[in-house]
Each structure stands twice: as C-alpha cells, then as structure tokens.
Amino acid sequence: MDYSKPETVSLDDLRNRIKSTDLVPSRAVLLEDLDAVFEKLAQHGIETWLDLQKAIKNPKRMEFFSKSSAIDLQYLVLLRREVEGYAPKPFDLKAIDWVPQEVIKKLLDDGITTSDQLFSKFNDINSRNNFADKTGIDRGMIVYLVNLATLCRVQWVSPTAGRMLIEAGYDNCQKLSAADGNELFEAMDRVNENGKYFKGTIGLRDIKRLIEAAKYCL
C-alpha cells in the first residue's frame, strides 16, 4: 500500500490504521461502530480509499452517500477529515523561506514548484547529483530539501515541523519511525529553545503520533 496512491489502499487498510491510531479527541468517536460502518461502506461498493474519496469528496456527495448507506453524516465528515490527513497536501516551495532563494528560483525555473514534485524528481542519488551539478546548487542542499519533502509526507508534519525534525537529527522517515518518544520530545524541545519556532512545546502524545504516522511512509 502507498498512501500517496489512494487506489492502492484497501478499505481494510484504512480500518486497521484508524483502529491502531491514537486519534485526537475530536475524532475518537470514529472508533464507535467502526466495523459496522466499514461493513456498510463495503456493501455500497467501497473497496479502496480512492472509492471512498469519490463517494464523499464534497458536501453534496457526502449527504447523498449518507442517505443511501444509512451512515451518519457527521460520522462521514469526521472520517473524511481523518483519512485525508493520511496523505498531506504538498507544500509550495516558495514557503521555504529559510534557504537561499536562488536555490528555490533554480528549482522553480526547472518546473519544480511543490514538495511532491521535488520528492518524485529527486528520489534517487543520481538525479539529485546531476541536477546539483547542472545548476550549481550544493548537493547537500538538494538532500536537505528532499528530506524536508519526505518528512512532510507524514501526517501532522508541516514544513516548520519538518525543519525542526531535521535539526533534531531525524532527517528521514526511517529515523522518525524508529525514534524513542521521550528522546524525540526532548530533542524537539531543545530545537525550539526560547520559542525559536513557536511558543510552547509539542506534547509527548503528539510526538508519539508523529512516530506512528511515519511508519506508514516507509
């Protein structure tokens, strides 16, 4: 299964992920009658995540599907919010304002404008090195940007959170998925010392959610 390709994610994959996820409080209700709801989804022709996306992709379709399947409308709203988070929207490279802007410009000039395009084009060493040599961009910078794009494929990881993870030493999904929750919590707290990135801290429970979510991006 590949959560960037909804057609490869089965209904059972989604159900199992929801069951094993530490849901945020506002979505904990999804666990109530989860099996019964997913049985109804299957009975109405939903076999993959892509099928589900099509069935509830907008309020009008969601309302129609709620009536035809006898699944509570509010339940479908929460279900959509939860599962759509499993494939975060790519970010615009222009949002990466902490790297030299001439680097971003060279990427934009080459038609690479979003994180998913960056991830796809430079997912192997040769393509990264060839582009770096062609444009004069430091190879390490290309690796940094690819790592950032990769981490932002994890649920809950924004560009700023990805930047912090890299600074904390967790620069890929393998490291993040294998992290000890307490150690990562302390590392992120150090990175954000004196409110460098935002006021407050990321809670330990949220840190553990990141670790679990990263396992689906390996």
pLDDT of 109 over the 90 cut: yes
DSSP-derived secondary structure for 44-110? TT--BHHHHHHHTSSHHHHHHHHHHHT--HHHHHHHHHHHHTTSPPPPBGGG-TTS-HHHHHHHHHT
pLDDT tens, residue by residue, 28-57? 999 999 999 999 999 999 999 999 999 999
Judge residue 208's burial from the number of C-beta atoms within 10 Å of its C-beta, 0-12 exposed, 13-18 middle, 19 or more buried: middle
pLDDT, residue 118, reads 97
Last residue of a domain, one of 54, 84, 114: 84
If asked whether residues 79 and 105 sit together in one domain, one would say no
Q: Rounded distance, CA 145 to CA 172, Å?
A: 11
- Compute the average pLDDT of residues 94-105: 96
pLDDT tens, residue by residue, 145-167? 999 999 999 999 999 999 999 99
Residue 1: inside a domain, yes or no? no
If asked whether residues 120 and 156 sit together in one domain, one would say yes
Q: Are 185 and 204 in contact (CB under 8 A)?
A: yes
Number of domains present in the structure of the chain: 2
If asked whether residues 79 and 100 sit together in one domain, one would say no
If asked whether residues 116 and 54 sit together in one domain, one would say no
Q: Could you tell me the pTM of the whole model?
A: 0.93
Per the structure block, which two tokens stand in for 164?
Answer: 């912090």
If asked whether residues 203 and 120 sit together in one domain, one would say yes
Q: For residue 200, name the pLDDT band (cuts at 50, 70, 90).
A: confident
If asked whether residues 36 and 144 sit together in one domain, one would say no
Only one residue has tokens 């390996």, namely 218
pLDDT, residue 196, reads 92
Residue 55: inside a domain, yes or no? yes
Q: Rounded distance, CA 122 to CA 61, Å?
A: 37
Q: Rounded distance, CA 43 to CA 46, Å?
A: 7
Residue 189: inside a domain, yes or no? yes
If asked whether residues 126 and 180 sit together in one domain, one would say yes
Q: Which domain holds residue 123?
A: 93-217
Residue 39: inside a domain, yes or no? yes
pLDDT tens, residue by residue, 47-96? 999 999 999 999 999 999 999 999 999 999 999 999 999 999 999 999 99
pLDDT, residue 89, reads 95
Q: Which amino acid is at 31?
A: L
Q: For residue 1, name the pLDDT band (cuts at 50, 70, 90).
A: confident
Only one residue has tokens 């060279």, namely 106
- Compute the average pLDDT of residues 1-21: 95
If asked whether residues 77 and 98 sit together in one domain, one would say no
If asked whether residues 18 and 107 sit together in one domain, one would say no
Mean pLDDT of the chain: 96
pLDDT, residue 85, reads 95
Q: Are 6 and 55 in contact (CB under 8 A)?
A: no
